[in-house]
Amino acid sequence: MRELTDRELYQALQYAKSQDENAGRSILQQFQTEQSALAQTIFGVFSALIADKDKDLANLFMDLCFDVICVFRHAFGDLPDQRVLNMEWLQNTAALLDAELQAFMPGNKMDTKFRDKFQNRFAERLTESDSQAGLVKFMDDAISAYVADSPAEPDAVRVARTMIYVVIQLFGAMYDQAERQATAS
């Protein structure tokens, strides 16, 4: 997937901010219909991890996720439908992500060797993937601005930053997979 230029990113963010309540609701409904597993992960699991530590930060996270949805839709077209994506890819991606995220869950009983392996693999994949650095920076700046106005628990901030980065990477992977499938057809 190609990196968005500053101009494309600005236009896509303007598009996201210009959505009224009805348009926003429609975008979210379409996302939940076409990507129900990803929607549940983002708005259920990820936001709950943050909400356990800071509910206001979890709300900001969900707002930022809406912006991510809009940015990708505006810049790269409609979201790929999970029914069209290769289900094996979807299941493998979800299983890998689940295993890696379980390693970060406090209180989760896991062999230290496996925990370290999953955490290291997760960190390696994050650093190897530099897609949408401008969007990542924008989201990180938004979290920093929130924290400057409303101090939050450092662990909650770390989780929010990690999860928004994961969301951006998942969207990039989803669009890449859809493009590979279209090319192979």
> What integer pLDDT is reported at residue 114 of this predicted model?
78
Tokens standing for residue 63: 């707002």
Letter string b/e over residues 76-111, b meaning 16 or more CB atoms within 10 A of that residue's CB: beebbebeebeeeebeebeeebeebbebeeeeeeee
- Asked if 87 and 94 touch (Cβ cutoff 8 Å), the reply is no
Whole-angstrom CA distances from 32 to 25, 26, 36 are: 10, 10, 5
Q: Give tens-digit pLDDT for 3-17.
A: 899 999 999 999 999
- Say whether pTM exceeds 0.85: no
The helix/strand/coil state of 152 is coil
Of 74, 105, 101, the closest CA to residue 170 belongs to: 101
For residue 143, give every residue at least 6 positions away whose Cβ sits within 8 Å of its Cβ, in sequence order, or none: 57, 60, 64, 157, 160, 161, 164
Q: Give tens-digit pLDDT for 40-72.
A: 889 998 899 899 989 999 999 999 999 999 999
